[in-house]
Structure 1
Amino acid sequence: MTVKNNYLSVMCCVLAIAVLGGFKATHQDDGQSAEKFVMGKNELKDKIKGGWAGQTIGVSFGSYTEFRYNGTMIQDYQTIPWDANHMKKLMTEWPDLYDDIYMDLTFVDVIERLGIDAPVDSFAHAFAYAGYNLWHANQAARYNILNGIAAPASGHWHNNPHADDIDYQIEADFAGLMSPGMPNAASTISDKVGHIMNYGDGWYGGVYMGAMYALAFKNDDIELIVRQALDAIPPQSDFHQCIADVIKWHDQYPDDWKQTWFEVQRKWTDEVGCPDGVFSPFDIDAKVNAAYVVLGLLYGEGDFGKTLEIATRGGQDSDCNPSSAAGILGTIMGYENIPDYWKQGLADIEGMKFKYTDMSLSDVYEVSYGHALKAIVSNGGKIEGDEVTIALQMPEPVRYEKSFENLYPVARHDLNRNLTDELVFEFEGTGFALRGAAGKNAGQSADYVFEADCFIDGEKKETAQLPTAFRTRRHDLFWEYQLPKGKHTVKVVVKNPSNDHHVRAYDVVVYSDEPADGIEAHQNH
């Protein structure tokens, strides 16, 4: 389909929805070609509330399943509980579960304090110095920022082995919810914030979610939203191709989400970047988990419970995935139309502050609505009385970028030992990632910061700080990706050993510029 035909097709859909759903589509008065549509302030706020409430319901529903089903789906005979006390119990007893929300609120707060055009350093500083713990791309980025590697370099795959992980994908909801009908405005925000912790497919995950949220304000056709939002992602990217496959398989197997799940598993679950997921069933990759979000949206067919169930039963990051799916569907439906069964207990927690924040759901409903009004005006819309006029945007592809280009994992070698002074290992290939961590010995309460040098083929490549504190830790010990192909020797020297603390090396993942020839190369040694 040409861009022109694509545009005309969507305009027809928007105009139809305008007639059926109360929108009033108008042409711009200034003669520009962009379309505009009008909606009531109350409807706008209701959709924003639906998005935030949907996220919260989704992460609560998937809570106890997160990463307990890796490389497998959650079977039908396994009941996922839900009752009126579920959310309050989680908010009270397991507040750290809600990283999907309080991570968003970090960036919402920056916008509230400094405005829509807040500089990237403000977002990065707030993120890096926040009191919550982080993992994967987020933690790698936090370490980078705290140690002098500023955004966007903090999220680039050269500096972040987790650049393709799911992190910004679960944090981008705010960008879409403050950009109603304006997916390109959401992408502009995602360009700034998402590159703090991600790059390539990892960044695209957030761009795609933001675009789906933005489109959900003006459209209730889920399949169209899923397809249209994909226009924001460069077609040559793996992320685009993975989601396009899910759409294709949904067309091919419209009544069998499990068959599509198996197709995703077969084609797209070979982990390259995240060292924890290479040669492992564990998969925190953005595109794979985004595929499960889309699985829930397409096969859920607008049914809130069915969408939650399928997005969760896909496994892997199975609290974040239903959170994204339910947030998007909640935006389509609006708060008032989310079934009461799924809102049971929500009123009990709407006034509770999320841990690490000064905001509750009730607060963010209002704050996010205020940000949306400002974004509407700054993007060519206007506010008149009880109505807002939104300048409609068609999704445009963001720039192409690819993480871990020409890298293929070929081996994982177990180490499983503490570094009393130094570690030496050899490998053949073009790169490596050394997994490990600094920690406290039994009975030790005080934290410590190790300093270690990494030498490659006799040349010192880096001196790194290795804190034992979990919040400031280095997620992986050392890595290097763009070495000349051949045999290499790596030596890690701990410069300030401690009798009360340790640096432990878990294993090393080896990369080359082409796949290994035989399965033996993949085995542990």
Structure 2
Amino acid sequence: MTAMSTGDTGPTLADRILGGWLGRIAGNMLGKPVEQGEVWTRERIDGYLRGADALPLTDYLPAPPTGRDGRDLRPEWRDCVRGRVHGSCRDDDVDYAILGLDLLETHGFAFTTEQVGDLWLLRLPYLQTFTAERAAYRNLANGLRPPLTATYDNPYQEWIGALIRADVHGWTSPGAPHRAASLARRDAVLSHTGNGVYGAMWAAALISAAFTAPTVRQAVDEALTVIPAGCRLARTVRRVASLHEAGLPWEDTLGTLARETAGLGWIHTVPNAAVLTAGLLYGDGDFTTTIALTVRGGLDTDSNGATAGSVAGVHCGAPAIPGQWKDPLQDTVRSAVFGFDGARIGDLAKRTLRLARTGT
């Protein structure tokens, strides 16, 4: 099924899939304490890090150096800062990867959008859903069916929720970005429209391409082929790539994109895709630099850190992820998905590998 080269001398398929899982969880944990874009701006995040003598950022966030910072961090920060990570925190960015794995194991790659909704109702607590997912969940419970679940009384249709659900479709379609995007679209339309759906397709394709692309830039370019060239998401990603190619510093690129996407809000897909793309391109394949820059970029920090970590982890493979990121996770994931709390990360990766190898 896959387009992986049999002559690849880099990380094995198993290493890359485990790298994706570890990278997603580590990146999510890194960004979680400062996940509130209107409070934790890019400037404030860097100010926090300077105050803790933690620049350059090469590990989980330090504990807050002042009482005020501690009050403004997400309440989960105590389990997410360096020296206090013992397994992963529960978070929707990881729950949806687990739920996607369960979807493919239960229904196979021919799953329907209706089956995605049925699984949400069965496995996912309502109060652990947010924005577009909560609106879609409510609509499902009230008897609506897709695509009405995405469009009825849902002002969040282009927010980032569908993008964070896309990883498993990339992990199980290594080197086949169009296939990954097709699977992600079928999932995304339960709750999203427009750029919200394109974000999921792009992220799935990006992760899929990272298995085989020689560079992260090539993976970014390949992922753009699965969404309409004229959509705002594609134009924004290309804009970041052009500024990076022109040699603009990372800070200036993000400043430019912040001005050009002003007004969309900190959870909208488009400005977050800009932060994510900048982290990937300026990180240039280095795992630590990639997730550090992405989280320092602000906005939806835990979601962007998670996706950046997934891409970088797939690209470099689990053995190349530095120990300070993966060792504190203790091969354990917390999850609100019924039946999966306390699951082993390695086991989730093995189950994902089986799906990637069968492709059916």
Q: TM-score range by the shorter chain?
A: 0.7 to 0.9
Structure 1 counterpart of 2:5, one-letter code: F
Work out which of the residue numbers 322, 332, 337 in structure 1 matches 2:320: 337
Secondary structure of 1:37's aligned partner: coil
Structure 2 partner of 1:148: 143
SS at 1:167 equivalent: coil
- Equivalent residue number for residue 114 of structure 2: 121
Question: d(CA) in 2 for partners of 1:139 and 1:39?
Answer: 45
Cα 1:261–1:363 change in 2 (3 A) is same
- When residues 331 and 42 of structure 1 are mapped into structure 2, their CA distance, relative to the original with a 3 A threshold, is closer
Matched residue SS, 1:321: helix
Deviation at 1:371, TM superposition (A): 1.0
Q: Name the residue aligned to 2:303.
A: 320
Q: Deviations over 1:417-449 (max 9, x none)?
A: xxxxxxxxxxxxxxxxxxxxxxxxxxxxxxxxx
CA distance in 1, matches of 2:346, 2:136: 30
The equivalent residue for 1:178 is: 172
* Equivalence for 2:67: none
Distance 1:55 1:135 in 2: 19
CA distance in 1 between partners of 2:86 and 2:227 (Å): 34
**Matching residue's letter, 1:195:** V
- In 2 relative to 1, CA 39–125 (structure 1 residues): closer, same or farther, beyond 3 Å? farther
C-alpha separation in 1, matches of 2:336 and 2:7? 34
**Aligned mates of 1:117, 1:320 — CA distance in 2:** 27
| 3-state SS of paired residue (2:313) | helix
Residue 209 of structure 1 is matched in structure 2 by 203
Deviations 1:2-38 (A, max 9, x none): xxxxxxxxxxxxxxxxxxxxxxxxxx9xxxxx98721
How far is the alpha carbon of 1:200 from its aligned partner?
Answer: 0.6
TM-score normalised over the length of structure 2: 0.84
Deviation at 1:118, TM superposition (A): 2.2
TM-aligned CA distance change 1:68 to 1:234, over 3 Å? closer
Q: CA deviation at 1:285?
A: 0.5
**Secondary structure at the counterpart of residue 6 of structure 2:** strand
Give the Cα–Cα distance (whole angstroms) in 2 for the partners of residues 36 and 301 of structure 1: 22
Give distance in 1, aligned partners of 2:332 and 2:155.
38
Task: Report how many aligned residue pairs link the two structures.
Answer: 324
Name 2:276's counterpart in structure 1: 293
Q: CA deviation at 1:87?
A: 4.5
Identity of aligned residues (%): 26
Task: Give the match for residue 288 of structure 2.
Answer: 305
What is the root-mean-square deviation in Å for CA atoms of aligned residues? 2.3
Structure 1 residues not aligned, in runs of 5+: 1-27, 29-33, 272-281, 379-525
Q: CA deviation at 1:71?
A: 8.1
Is 1:193–2:187 an aligned residue pair?
yes
2:6 alignment partner AA = V
> Which of 97, 100, 114 lines up with 1:104 in the alignment?
97
Matches of 1:338 and 1:196, distance apart in 2: 34
Aligned match of 1:358: 339
Aligned to 1:126, the other structure's residue is in SS state: helix
| 1:141–1:160 Cα contact (<8 Å) kept | yes
CA distance in 2, matches of 1:336, 1:172: 23
What are the equivalent positions in structure 2 for 1:50-69 lying under 5 Å apart? 50-69=19-38
Alpha-carbon spacing, 1:230–1:144, altered in 2? closer, same or farther (3 Å): same
Deviates more, 1:110-119 or 1:187-196: 110-119
Distance across 1 between alignment mates of 2:229 and 2:276: 19
Structure 2 SS opposite 1:319: helix
Cα deviations by residue, 1:214-258 (Å, 9 ceiling, x for unpaired): 01111230111111211111011111111111111212244x111
Amino acid in structure 2 at the alignment position of 1:358: G
Q: Which residue pairs with 2:73 in the alignment?
A: none
Q: TM-score, normalised by structure 1?
A: 0.58
8 Å CA contact retained: 1:70, 1:283: no
- Say whether the 8 Å CA contact 2:11–2:316 is kept in structure 1: no
Provide the C-alpha distance between the structure 1 equivalents of 2:206 and 2:212, rounded to a whole number of angstroms: 11
Find 1:367's aligned residue among 339, 351, 360.
351
Contact 1:187 1:211 in 2 (8 A): yes
Larger radius of gyration: 1
Q: Provide structure 2 residue ranges, at least 5 long, that are not aligned to the other structure.
A: 50-60, 63-80
Aligned equivalents of 2:24 and 2:234: distance in 1? 23
Is 1:37–2:5 an aligned residue pair? Answer: yes
Q: Which residue of 1 aligns with 2:46?
A: 76
- Are 2:170 and 2:208, in contact at CA under 8 Å, matched by a contact in 1? yes
